[in-house]
């Protein structure tokens, strides 16, 4: 899933694709590099960010979705708003990626059920301006499994088909770096929820902390090799997808993981 942030302030690429033309060109580039889905977002969720007004989000996202629809890739829209989801699907999107898992907008789950499209429900505890204060868990893996399980039940109760639901632990959303690693180390417990998993690790701060020199974090654009290393390990565990800023390296990582899994599955002569 290639990331197309049409925002002035996303943490690693804010402002780079804010003009409609630049956004469309970047989306086409991600598809040419082999992305299966393009995730178009018009609202930054970096820690501390405030909400973008609905009209602003619509103005950023809808023209880009319309232009990319029919280009061969699946268009996904990263939004917490039911109205944006409805307008995006009318413009050609077929998956909604909701970082709040239906918690931010009480109309979202019903809207997605009515649209009959794919839905990514991410684990979330509150908006970006407060999420760094929401990192208390007795057991982060157990807590995220329980809370994501509740979102899965709410999605099913609203009428979203099980085949249309993907779950995401929401790395960095109300989680510390150590908690992100703990979740990544126990994905089998998230898989036990019975839905495909999407993982968004690309360029995130916990990778910058891992690769820091002294107090100096590795800058976001120098976290791509670590992102690809993680992608290979995630692909080996059978995750459904990775949400990423760079596509070629992730495709290569997935090829390596799949080829190795194939070799393991064959019995030596």
Binding site for ligand PMM (CB under 6 A): 3, 5, 10-12, 41, 45-46, 78, 97, 99, 120, 122, 168, 170-171, 198, 200, 243
Q: What are phi and psi of 241, to 5 degrees?
A: -165, 160
With respect to ligand PMM, which residue has the nearer C-beta, 248 or 260?
A: 248
Which residues are identified as catalytic?
204, 243
CB of 226 to ligand PMM, least distance (A): 15
CB of 147 to ligand PMM, least distance (A): 15
Quickly list H helices, 137-198.
Answer: 140-158, 177-185, 187-191
With respect to ligand PMM, which residue has the nearer C-beta, 31 or 184?
A: 184
CB of 68 to ligand PMM, least distance (A): 17
β partners of residue 68: none
Q: Where are the beta strands (DSSP E) in the chain?
A: 2-5, 37-41, 74-78, 95-98, 118-122, 165-168, 198-199, 241-242
Q: Is 104 exposed, middle or buried (0-12, 13-18, 19+ CB in 10 A)?
A: middle
Which residue has tokens 């099980």? 162
With respect to ligand PMM, which residue has the nearer C-beta, 219 or 260?
A: 219
Which single residue brings its beta carbon nearest to ligand PMM?
200
With respect to ligand PMM, which residue has the nearer C-beta, 86 or 168?
A: 168
CB of 120 to ligand PMM, least distance (A): 5
Q: How far apart are CA 195 and CA 187, in angstroms?
A: 12
């Amino acid at each position: 899933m290639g990331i197309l942030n049409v925002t002035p302030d996303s943490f690693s690429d804010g402002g780079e694709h804010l003009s409609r033309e630049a956004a469309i060109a970047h989306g086409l580039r991600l598809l040419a590099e082999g992305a299966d889905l393009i995730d178009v977002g018009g609202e930054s969720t970096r820690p501390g960010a405030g909400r973008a007004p609905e009209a602003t989000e619509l103005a950023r996202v809808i023209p880009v979705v319309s232009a990319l629809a029919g280009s061969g890739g699946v268009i996904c829209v990263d939004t917490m708003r039911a109205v944006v989801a409805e307008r995006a699907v009318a413009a050609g999107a077929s998956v909604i990626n909701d970082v709040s898992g239906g918690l931010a907008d009480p109309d979202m789950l019903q809207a997605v059920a009515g649209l009959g499209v794919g839905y990514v429900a991410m684990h979330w505890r509150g908006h970006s301006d407060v999420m760094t204060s929401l990192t208390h868990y007795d057991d982060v893996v157990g807590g995220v499994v329980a809370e994501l399980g509740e979102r899965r039940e709410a999605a099913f109760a609203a009428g979203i088909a099980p085949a249309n639901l993907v779950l995401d632990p929401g790395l960095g959303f109300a989680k510390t770096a150590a908690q992100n690693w703990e979740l990544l180390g126990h994905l089998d417990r998230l898989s036990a929820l019975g839905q495909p998993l999407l993982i968004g690790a690309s360029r995130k701060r916990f990778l910058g902390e891992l690769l820091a020199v002294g107090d100096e974090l590795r800058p976001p654009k120098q976290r791509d090799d670590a992102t690809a290393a993680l992608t290979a390990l995630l692909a080996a565990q059978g995750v459904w997808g990775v949400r990423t800023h760079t596509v070629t390296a992730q495709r290569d990582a997935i090829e390596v993981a799949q080829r190795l899994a194939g070799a393991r599955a064959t019995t030596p002569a």
